Chains A and B, each alone.
Chain A
């Protein structure tokens, strides 16, 4: 029995050592794992916690140094600066983004977040800042040439993304054989490569990123599903933050900051004014 206690004691010591070194690490590395969010009500605090999907290239993802980068990341950082706040990026599971926001764990959802009517009921939106479309991606030699060719085919998309809404609003959805939902876009595209699905519905900005990663494998149909717009999601009831953020975004449009960030990521100024 005594030996068990000694063993237990040793293990406890190890945990404390680990805990100590991991908190120290957190301070220095600043990967944005976790910081408490007690006073998420005030809008004038200097920390702005922004919920992002760090698997959503090129809007927000991790570069080869494991730093969070992307178009939305640069834009959010600049906006926070205009607001006199410090942006802190919190990678979240995209499926729980609204719950994260409403429960007050994050202040904003900002990562290629499409404005939809359903979401407007739960979340406050800024004015749209970027044009997007739900594009249909298939293999280069696929027989699918236009939207109506999707009839009888198997289609994949990211779960809880606006791709599902876009598809449902298009009459073609009734003729599709099955719709499979994936945790993230790459899994859907991997299934497309292996042939388990025939097409993937995906944000066009994201699709273009992956097409440069693996040229000559995929094609996008010229025809896309519903055009969409990206906006920033703010916690309902926090109109003050929304106003402040919108003012910052407007100012960045005027002074050319947004255009500069857009050129950096897309090679052209695509930001909606």
Chain B
């Protein structure tokens, strides 16, 4: 029996490694990218703002699944340049997740900026802070604090969205659960997969709770 559990759980943990790796790469690149997008969308230079807003609209407005399929299979079929665009599957998947999640994070940060009272800017001006100081010392920390719960929400979604990885043939946690289901003809592996996802999201939940406490200010 112990052996059986091992043969079922080990491949899933192997798959969970893909999940975790994708999660970290996507989070680390898409959060800064999302922030840059927020700034671009709020820019006074109209074409840039318009471009950023269109980007956010397109990436939020189409399914992530579709974007993954297009990046992995659509790009190589483009005429002329197509053959240079056969990306490694995992790279293609990372690209899809980063581009998609950056759009969501951009909106979250925008919400954070909107929540900051006008009085904060005025107070900073009265205190004689430069524009740079106002942004980095007054506005950003507050924006970050306001955005934290939404960031936490989105990160948990990201963990679960990694189940989409198999459409571009990167075997992940849920896929190995499915192969076990198909081999042994029992749905027990699905419960195990659920438990592993819960364990991963638990870590995130605790981390964000800690961050919220850390950045609390009255």
Give residues in A with beta carbon < 8 Å to B.
Answer: 1, 3-4, 8, 11-12, 14-15, 18-19, 22, 25, 29, 31, 33-34, 36-38, 40, 54-57, 61-66, 90-93, 95-96, 99-100, 102-105, 183-186, 189-190, 210, 213-214
- Contact (Cβ within 8 A) B171 A33: yes
- Contact (Cβ within 8 A) B176 A66: yes
Give residues in B with beta carbon < 8 Å to A.
Answer: 4, 7, 10-11, 14, 17-18, 20-21, 24-25, 27-28, 69, 72-73, 76-77, 83, 86, 88-90, 136-137, 140-141, 144, 166-171, 175-176, 178-185, 187, 214
* Given A12-B28, A55-B183, A62-B176; 8 other pairs, CB 8 A cutoff: A15-B28, A22-B21, A34-B90, A36-B86, A38-B86, A40-B86, A95-B167, A102-B77
- Contact (Cβ within 8 A) A96 B167: yes
- Contact (Cβ within 8 A) A93 B182: no
Closest residue of chain B to A19 (Cβ to Cβ) is: B21
**Majority secondary structure, A binding face:** mixed
The distance in angstroms between the C-alpha atoms of A18 and B86, with both chains bound, is: 24
For residue B86, which residues in chain A have a CB less than 8 angstroms away from its CB? 36-38, 40, 103-105
- Contact (Cβ within 8 A) A1 B28: no
Closest residue of chain A to B3 (Cβ to Cβ) is: A64
The distance in angstroms between the C-alpha atoms of A11 and B207, with both chains bound, is: 12
For residue B168, which residues in chain A have a CB less than 8 angstroms away from its CB? 93
Given contacts A38-B86, A104-B83, contact A55 B76 (CB under 8 A): no
For residue B183, which residues in chain A have a CB less than 8 angstroms away from its CB? 55, 57, 61-64
- Best-surrounded residue of A4, A40, A185 (most CB of chain B within 10 A): A4
- Best-surrounded residue of A12, A55, A61, A90 (most CB of chain B within 10 A): A55
- Contact (Cβ within 8 A) A15 B25: yes
Going nearest first, the 5 A-B pairs with the smallest beta carbon separation are A55-B182, A64-B7, A66-B11, A103-B76, A15-B24
Given contacts A54-B179, A92-B169, A93-B166, contact A11 B83 (CB under 8 A): no
